């Protein structure tokens, strides 16, 4: 047990654990987004199409928040960005409790999406700042674990509180967000490294990430992974109910996958630490592809649980090297911006997966899941192909940063 503790959670900086605790509290309390459409239709009596537009405003705000969060984390600092996002979210949630006009609700929903998405790039950039390179795989693995544990608890709380009072739900969410903000204010110092100049790699801006071929190749492959992962929340419910199973079966499958992650993610670092990151990502995508391809054979609860076991293994393997590669490819002065570009894959996948997946499932039937499996294998091959060039780029960047000199400002 002592050996497991040292290899899994031991030795990480104290500041990392403050950030980790803040993320966990934020995830546990961040459940308004999960039931926003239900709140709009049942408590505000909006029609389904209008509620959909308001939820869409939340999504648009999220896209803007990802980019703003990355830019501000590099310009203002990680701590300032986190405080702005969390205190801002508290204010918006408080406004939503009393908002009645539909345009006001839509505007506040967009602002909430903005505030909810801003902390992501800043949190991860801060983790990279304070965690030694050799420990980042463990740090990101524990971050992924906290995220899933928080989401699992949030899902249960959201359903329970929504049955009691939406006002109570918004209040508890605001209280959790405020608690995170106070923790950051009290315990988290600014982690942004001193600006450094290097003749080999100037600081640049957001366009630097968007025109970085090595990085955007990795982001493109990550988009395929995100599209696969998003099947669980978009197309999988349709497949399960299409097989004549009750909606509760879908909830059971999702809960089972979350439980696997909470239990198994703590043991992943010891398994993959000796693997090259591209190899680990290739294996992860193979498991994801095989898991979703197995859905084509599932027609009962056991079949769906078996498929979930396979794709969840892929998700667990992918999380630590995915985050570590982003950290490696991000120039020190642009960590927030690089994180924000990567985070854009999630809203993009949230659009592509249901839009293309719905048509695919309707016309291809179970062959849709074979296509998903093929995408997983394609992404696996891509990671193996780009691995040598990416590793050379990382080595060159490390060499350049060795000779960079700190400057004021």
pLDDT digits (tens, 9 = 90+) for 257-312: 888 888 887 788 778 888 999 999 999 999 999 999 999 999 899 999 999 999 99
Phi, psi of 196 (to 5 degrees): -130, 150
Which pLDDT does position 253 carry in this prediction? Answer: 85
Buried b (16+ CB within 10 A) or exposed e, 32-62: bbbbbbebbeeeeebeeebbeebbebbbebb
Please say if the pLDDT value at position 359 is more than 60: yes
How far out from the chain centre does Cα 80 lie? 21
pLDDT digits (tens, 9 = 90+) for 66-113: 999 999 999 999 999 999 999 999 999 999 989 889 899 999 999 998
Structure-block tokens of residue 157: 């709380």
35-49 average pLDDT score: 79
The CA distance from 135 to 133, in Å, is: 5
pTM of the model: 0.77
Compute CA 230 distance to the chain's CA centroid, rounded to the nearest angstrom.
11
List Cβ neighbours of 10 (8 Å cut-off, separation of 6 or more): none
Angle at the Cα of 188 from the Cα atoms of 183 and 193, rounded to 5 degrees: 155
Kindly indicate the confidence band of residue 198, based on its pLDDT and cuts at 50, 70 and 90: very low
Identify the pLDDT of residue 291: 97
Residue 406 scores a pLDDT above 60:
no
Domains of the chain (ranges plus CATH)? 8-137+163-192 (1.20.1250.20), 202-402 (1.20.1250.20)
Judging by beta carbons within 10 Å of its beta carbon (0-12, 13-18, 19+), is residue 134 exposed, middle or buried? exposed
Identity of the highest mean pLDDT range in 276-280, 333-337, 350-354: 276-280
pLDDT of res. 197: 45
Share of the chain above pLDDT 90, in %: 42
pLDDT digit string (tens) for 312-333? Answer: 999 999 988 888 898 889 888 8
Site of tokens 């949230």: 350
């Amino acid at each position: 047990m002592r050996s497991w503790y040292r290899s899994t959670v031991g030795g990480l900086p104290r500041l990392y654990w403050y950030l980790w605790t803040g993320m966990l509290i934020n995830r546990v309390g961040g459940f308004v987004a999960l039931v926003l459409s239900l709140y709009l239709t049942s408590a505000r009596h909006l029609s389904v199409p209008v509620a959909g537009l308001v939820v869409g405003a939340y999504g648009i705000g999220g896209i803007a928040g990802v980019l703003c969060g990355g830019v501000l984390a590099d310009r203002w600092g990680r701590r300032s960005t986190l405080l702005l996002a969390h205190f801002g979210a508290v204010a918006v949630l408080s406004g939503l409790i009393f908002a009645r006009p539909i345009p006001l609700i839509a505007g506040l929903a967009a602002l909430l999406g903005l505030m909810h998405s801003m902390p992501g790039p800043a949190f991860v950039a801060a983790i990279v700042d304070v965690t030694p390179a050799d420990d980042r795989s463990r740090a990101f693995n524990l971050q992924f674990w906290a995220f899933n544990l928080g989401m699992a608890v949030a899902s249960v709380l959201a359903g329970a509180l929504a049955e009691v009072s939406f006002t109570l739900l918004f209040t508890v969410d605001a209280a959790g967000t405020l608690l995170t903000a106070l923790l950051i204010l009290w315990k988290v110092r600014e982690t942004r490294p001193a600006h450094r100049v290097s003749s080999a790699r100037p600081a640049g801006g957001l366009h630097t990430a968007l025109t970085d071929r090595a990085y955007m190749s990795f982001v493109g492959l990550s988009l395929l992974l995100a599209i696969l992962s998003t099947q669980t929340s978009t197309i999988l419910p349709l497949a399960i109910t299409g097989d004549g199973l009750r909606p509760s079966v879908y909830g059971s499958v999702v809960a089972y996958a979350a439980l696997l992650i909470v239990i198994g993610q703590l043991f992943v670092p010891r398994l993959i630490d000796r693997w090259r990151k591209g190899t680990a990502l290739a294996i992860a995508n193979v498991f994801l592809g095989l898991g979703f391809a197995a859905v084509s054979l599932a027609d009962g609860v056991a079949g769906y649980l078996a498929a979930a076991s396979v794709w969840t293994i892929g998700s667990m393997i992918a999380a630590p090297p995915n985050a570590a590669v982003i950290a490696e490819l991000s120039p020190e002065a642009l960590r927030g911006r690089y994180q924000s570009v990567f985070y854009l894959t999630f809203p993009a996948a949230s659009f592509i997966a249901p839009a293309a997946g719905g048509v695919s499932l309707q016309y291809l039937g179970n062959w849709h899941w074979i296509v998903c499996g093929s995408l997983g294998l394609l992404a696996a091959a891509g990671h193996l192909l780009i691995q040598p060039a990416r590793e050379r780029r990382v080595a060159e960047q490390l060499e350049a940063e060795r000779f960079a000199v700190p400057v004021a400002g």
